Structure 1
């Protein structure tokens, strides 16, 4: 009889945290929105909200790929650098008269190759993902500067339909981000590849012994991260209308990492949700926007991202110890 009574209680303890896993994050986001709405009239204006959604769309695409990769125990700190190279190469192709579709396909293919190179290094050399991709990030930032020769390269209105266009009132950039997030969420929840990613992140050796082709899956994950970096680069170029020194890079990468970690994806792998990542992206985007509207020094934006990332990392570690 004792066993019968204990089982439902244990079940409830397991189910409740899942149902309210992102409740605290959602409450924080709502609190900041309410605060911003009371402090400044312009925050809730249509133009400002659309601007926020356009800005976070680029981060969301990077964060989507990073969520799946980190769930599998991987890490790619070079996605921001990949974005920088993609925007630089695409801008130069436009400047030399190449067609829109050729430029987009070439840029995304280049970004995919960069991702695969990361995957090869991490998978077959044993170098820690953090070290390998941080080195790649530094290299890519330099390559991006070489491609544009340290100057701003304008693309005029080549990608304006994507950058400023809307359908049914929704920015095209946001629609692209929603599609990417939905696909990644579907893959993680309903496909064998997604389940394998969780297994690899949980214990790579056990996953290999259970028949999962770990090397192949890791290459695919890094390749996908590269491809999404390329897509994010095209989106960023469309929004800005030019590739300039500092476009993309480590700051963009850290924002994406912070969003993913805030959303509850484990730094050690084996756990992650797209919903949490979406809330993390929105939280950081809203905070940055509020700081701008309140005319707070832009340096505090970097401080806020770093502080939030540190707090989220500590919370992530404490949660792992609890379980």
Structure 2
């Protein structure tokens, strides 16, 4: 005697258990950097309501000009951190380049020769950092933090404790505009755009993601990890040199304390706020851009509200801490 079980009825279409929720919150969560956009909108709204000059075209252009230097450093950091690296010496490299270039220009060296020598020096510094990290297995944080301290001291030695003016040299880059946009901003946008294209559409960029995700697996898959690390650190050095020249052109002089660790921490904060993983394997240029703009807007708003500059450093540190914690929580939830 056989017993045939009745066929199972298909689940009702559109049941509560099988159909995912498509509410507005789920849609918003699917949009990249939604929280960052929301925070930026809130900050801009508050600054506009509290100060009359914040929303003026002159002030907005000034914000974009100020954040351009940080944006160039942050672009290099985004690519490097995606590959699991870190370079805390980029601000120090910018300080050394600013000091050396100022001394060269003040002594009569042509701007072209000065720019070439400064970029070569910055690239060499990056390659030295890359060699130390790659071939000695010293943690990138330790190696580059030591380099940052060393470079800050070198910058002071080059300047001998004095401010060195460059006159009108490099003023085209630092103070003039093209089609109504500051040349500094145009340079920063070009660097960001090239970095974004390299990360998304080139083998070099994809290899960086692979190395950041799992360096051992990347090596077994045939990627020359040592060469990529050297290239990445050389590139971050070159971008730090460019940032130093941009900073010098905007200020018109190099002084003790120009660039250095403060500039570096601002760039790191922008990259982490933008969602680039501290452990490597994930990062976007769009997020970095939003982080750079957010920090620039906050600093500008605090200035307009006549808040002490000490609180500006506190705000950067606080935002960096919150972003790092949120980054780690997001990584854990994805796992």
Once the 2 structures are TM-superposed, how far is the Cα of residue 17 of structure 1 from its aligned partner?
7.9
Once the 2 structures are TM-superposed, how far is the Cα of residue 50 of structure 1 from its aligned partner?
1.2
Counting matched residue pairs gives 319
1:236 and 2:247 matched: yes
1:95 and 2:106 matched: yes
Partner of residue 61 from structure 1, selected from 42, 66, 72? 72
Residues 75-134 of structure 1 show CA distances to partners (whole Å, capped at 9, x for unaligned) of 000000000000000000001101111101110110000000000000000000000000
Instruction: State the superposition RMSD in angstroms.
Output: 1.9
Partner of residue 132 from structure 1, selected from 122, 143, 150? 143
Which residue number in structure 2 is paired with residue 21 of structure 1?
A: 32
CA distance in 2, matches of 1:16, 1:222: 38
CA distance in 1, matches of 2:56, 2:28: 35
1:268 and 2:305 matched: no
1:184 and 2:195 matched: yes
* Matched ranges for 1:207-286 at <5 A: 207-286=218-297
Which residue number in structure 2 is paired with residue 292 of structure 1?
A: 303
Is the radius of gyration larger for structure 1 or structure 2? 2
Which residue number in structure 1 is paired with residue 122 of structure 2?
A: 111
Residues 118-168 of structure 1 show CA distances to partners (whole Å, capped at 9, x for unaligned) of 000000000000000000000000000000101100001101111111011
Which residue number in structure 2 is paired with residue 85 of structure 1?
A: 96
1:161 and 2:172 matched: yes
Residues 10-68 of structure 1 show CA distances to partners (whole Å, capped at 9, x for unaligned) of 9xxxx968851211101111111111111111111122111111110000000000000
1:308 and 2:331 matched: no
CA distance in 2, matches of 1:267, 1:77: 13
Secondary structure of 1:245's partner? coil
CA distance in 1, matches of 2:19, 2:221: 31
CA distance in 2, matches of 1:149, 1:26: 44
CA distance in 1, matches of 2:252, 2:55: 26
1:76 and 2:87 matched: yes
- In terms of mean alpha carbon deviation, does 76-85 or 156-165 score higher? 156-165
More helix by share: 1
Which residue number in structure 2 is paired with residue 30 of structure 1?
A: 41
- In terms of mean alpha carbon deviation, does 156-165 or 254-263 score higher? 156-165
Query: Is residue 90–residue 240 contact of structure 2 (8 Å, CA) maintained in 1?
Result: yes
Residues 205 and 296 of structure 1, relative CA distance in 2, 3 Å threshold: same
Query: Is residue 95–residue 155 contact of structure 2 (8 Å, CA) maintained in 1?
Result: yes
CA distance in 2, matches of 1:231, 1:117: 18
Partner of residue 201 from structure 1, selected from 207, 212, 231? 212
TM-score normalised according to structure 1 size: 0.95
Once the 2 structures are TM-superposed, how far is the Cα of residue 236 of structure 1 from its aligned partner?
0.2
Residues 239 and 273 of structure 1, relative CA distance in 2, 3 Å threshold: same
Unmatched segments (≥5 aa) in structure 2: 1-9
CA distance in 1, matches of 2:131, 2:29: 35
CA distance in 2, matches of 1:58, 1:230: 10
CA distance in 1, matches of 2:215, 2:27: 28
Partner of residue 49 from structure 1, selected from 29, 45, 60? 60
Once the 2 structures are TM-superposed, how far is the Cα of residue 9 of structure 1 from its aligned partner?
6.0
* Matched ranges for 1:3-18 at <5 A: none
Query: Is residue 28–residue 34 contact of structure 2 (8 Å, CA) maintained in 1?
Result: no
